[in-house]
Structure 1
Amino acid sequence: MIPVNEPLLNGNEKKYLNECIDTGWISSEGPFINKFENAMANYVGRKYAVAVTNGTAALEMAIEALGIGKNDEVIMPSFTIISCAQAIVKAGAKPILVDSEYDTFNMKTSDIEAKITSRTKAIMIVHIYGLPVDINPILELAKKHNLKIIEDAAEMHGQTYNGKMCGSFGDISIFSFYPNKIITTGEGGMVLVNDEVLYEKCKSLRNLCFSSDGDKRFIHENLGWNLRMTNIQAALGVAQLERIDEFISKKRWIGAMYQELLSDIKTINLPIKQKDFAENIYWVFSITLKNEYQKSAKEVMKELGAKGVATRPFFYPMHSQPVFTKMGLFLNEEYSNASKLYEKGFYIPSGMAITEEQIKEVSKIMHEILT
């Protein structure tokens, strides 16, 4: 089986992990935490970074840090991972959905303003699969309506929008370092901000809101979480970030290989290579089946799996999630592109460790099944 993702861990990962073990710094107090946070902040162009346990935790902390809660509304895409909506719902706020563009998979910026009400507190930008959201129109809306911007750049390590790093926009941004991300810490995430007050709040929330006064350490004025990243995870992150330019180049090489090898398959749509504001980073190589092709993504994925090619489905849209239906959310709402993307879309092996031979084998099998 050719895996859909396999990380590349052949840099300084072992060296830095051994350093953690040899020094005994394996908890969240070790020196690699600050190294990783500072390196990410510098790379992205933010003043401050707070490392946490995963991307979902980063989103929940971002919502709390911005003071979003009961009766507030946050505009976000229906086509995304459940973590985004879950963070809003758990805070007592309400997600307000917009549809996505079918070709880029990203939220339709033209649909946002009509969803703004007196309760709208923020817009959550979520970059999907390889191309960034068209950010400038959203920033203009936020300024016009005095809204906060949360940028979910979980999949966008090293991607840029008009030459500026994704993860550097808005009031607060987040990354994920799950194993399928461009750089990984196994599990892990990060919150990035420019505002010092917001930074201090995030640090406090990450660490159970312990008092900074040593005499009052166990006296708590607020509730937080234990979201601390370990020194071991951060050591992996430091080693991975050292090679991010190499990793981005490989992702684009993988994308270019597939674009060339699969271009003659008439039953599929290949991902857009670039927009005016960005070149595709191909975090994953995403496929949609053409309308006239009768099989569903689920059927094609099953056939590929039987021939040794692992795949993953596209996101199941938020407006159709059973858990939200039971809560009475999004009833009678329809976002046609988000629904269609789930029915027609999947992605193929494109992890960092994939080889040229594996790419060619995937292409060969894709031709057997889809032509």
Structure 2
Amino acid sequence: MNILLEQIKLTNIPSFSLTRQNRILQKELVDCFLQVVNKGIFILDENVKVLENMVSSLCEVDNGIGVASGSDALNLSLMACDIGYGDEVITTPFTFIATAAAISRVGAKPVFVDIDPDTWNINADLLKKRISTKTKAIIPVHLYGCPAEMTKIAQVAKEHRLKIIEDAAQALGAKCNDKSVGSFGDTGCFSFFPTKNFGSFGDGGMVITDNAKIADKIKLLRLHGAKHKYHHDIIGYNSRLDELQAAILNVKFKYIKQWTIRRREIAELYSSLFQEHISACRLSIKLPLEPDYAYHVYHQYTIQTDQRNQLQNYLKNCGISSTVYYPIPIHLQKAYSSLGYCKGDFPIAEAACNQVLSLPMFPELKDEEVAFIVERVVDFFA
């Protein structure tokens, strides 16, 4: 192991990389690309239909609708659920801004709820306090691949007759109480951005739903509001998952389960190595948690420490990349200053933004690289 660690010191370890995966899949990817090119149909053809069926089947729902991005999946879901001007939608301040921006784009108001300190997901126990007569929906986010507490969230939504739109952009394959994320809500929204745990070679997304009426409306919305060419029933959008991206994803879909298993193995290795030093009181970090109800897919392996910035700089000097998801909570973003939130309104989310650090995580990461990363983190705190 020491020889291997010395070898790794001479290389850089990326936070995320598709290069290794692309080398492994190169022939399959090139073949699928050429098949699409030779057929010459690039929009809403057979590859999109196959992917829609496979993802909806994986999540055990009736409908999958491929769209242009995860952001569009959220936006079209809100529209299909008839949410618009004057409405309020509850969500988390600790996520990528696309979650809140989708609410704003349909004319509704995002209302934030602080997060659970252990999972970093929206705190289901705080939801009721933020519900008003204007509240129409909840958008929970399954952050880092860890499911939000959907059983509780679904119960609150049922009691108050609220829609649920799941932001599962980072969590394809994750489960809550043995039920797939995305299948609890009126819709589930996935992103196929290249860095996701199931990513294409560009933008792409999908909505899944058991509601046939919602599915039909999203199909209309993604295609300029038309069921038939040049016959437009509503004002829609141009939001279609293209054939090339779908073909690439169909190649990758065969491997999603084994990649998830590998991510979980890497996470277990990280945690077991870190835990040895935490138990000996030589390390001051908080490790990611997999709740009893959850099957975590570890889109990210994220730790928390009040020395985050210093640790990140130290790792960078050691040739180890890391990423902060996310450095500013949405309620403190300039874009949302009009909502009137102040620093201190959501203290747990604000603390997370100042303290979380995502370490390298992708299925092709080697065990010896994980060991090297852990050693460097331990060295920093020594």
Separation in structure 2 between the aligned mates of residue 155 and residue 66 of structure 1, nearest angstrom = 22
Cα 1:118/1:333, change in 2 over 3 Å: farther
Q: Is 1:180–1:351's contact at 8 Å kept on the other side of the alignment?
A: no
Q: Is 1:49–1:191's contact at 8 Å kept on the other side of the alignment?
A: yes
Cα 1:213/1:30, change in 2 over 3 Å: closer
TM-score, L = length of structure 1:
0.93
Classify the secondary structure of the residue corresponding to 2:143: coil
CA deviation after TM superposition for structure 1 residue 131, in Å = 2.0
Paired residues in the alignment total 359
Separation in structure 2 between the aligned mates of residue 299 and residue 116 of structure 1, nearest angstrom = 39
Where in structure 2 are the equivalents of 1:247-266 lying within 5 Å?
247-263=259-275, 264-265=277-278, 266=283
1:3 aligns with 2:17: no
1:304 aligns with 2:315: yes
Classify the secondary structure of the residue corresponding to 1:168: coil
Runs of 4 or more consecutive aligned structure 1 residues displaced over 4 Å after TM superposition: none
Partner of 1:228: 240
Of stretches 300-309 and 190-199 in structure 1, the one that deviates more from structure 2 is: 300-309
**1:253-303 Cα shifts (integer Å, max 9, x gaps):** 11011112222152111111x3221143222110101x5xxx3x2232122
Q: 1:14 aligns with which of 11, 21, 30?
A: 30
Q: 2:365 aligns with which of 325, 348, 354?
A: 354
Partner of 1:34: 49
Separation in structure 2 between the aligned mates of residue 232 and residue 72 of structure 1, nearest angstrom = 37
CA deviation after TM superposition for structure 1 residue 117, in Å = 0.8
Of stretches 242-251 and 8-17 in structure 1, the one that deviates more from structure 2 is: 8-17
Partner of 1:75: 90
When the two chains are superposed, the root-mean-square deviation of aligned CA atoms in Å is 1.6
Q: 1:174 aligns with which of 189, 206, 215?
A: 189
Partner of 1:283: 299
CA deviation after TM superposition for structure 1 residue 143, in Å = 1.1
Q: Structure 2: which amino acid aligns with 1:239?
A: V
Unaligned runs of 5+ in 1: none
Classify the secondary structure of the residue corresponding to 1:312: coil
Partner of 1:93: 108
Partner of 1:269: 286
Separation in structure 2 between the aligned mates of residue 227 and residue 258 of structure 1, nearest angstrom = 39
Q: Structure 2: which amino acid aligns with 1:361?
A: F
Cα 1:207/1:147, change in 2 over 3 Å: same
Structure holding more helix per residue: 2
Classify the secondary structure of the residue corresponding to 1:222: coil
Separation in structure 2 between the aligned mates of residue 231 and residue 4 of structure 1, nearest angstrom = 29
Q: Is 1:314–1:341's contact at 8 Å kept on the other side of the alignment?
A: no
Q: Is 1:319–1:333's contact at 8 Å kept on the other side of the alignment?
A: no
Partner of 2:200: 185
Aligned-residue identity in percent: 28
**1:8-42 Cα shifts (integer Å, max 9, x gaps):** 233433322221123223x1133101010111111
**1:116-161 Cα shifts (integer Å, max 9, x gaps):** 1110000111111132111111111111111101111111111111
Separation in structure 2 between the aligned mates of residue 351 and residue 329 of structure 1, nearest angstrom = 39
Q: Structure 1: which amino acid aligns with 2:209?
A: V
Q: Is 2:322–2:359's contact at 8 Å kept on the other side of the alignment?
A: yes
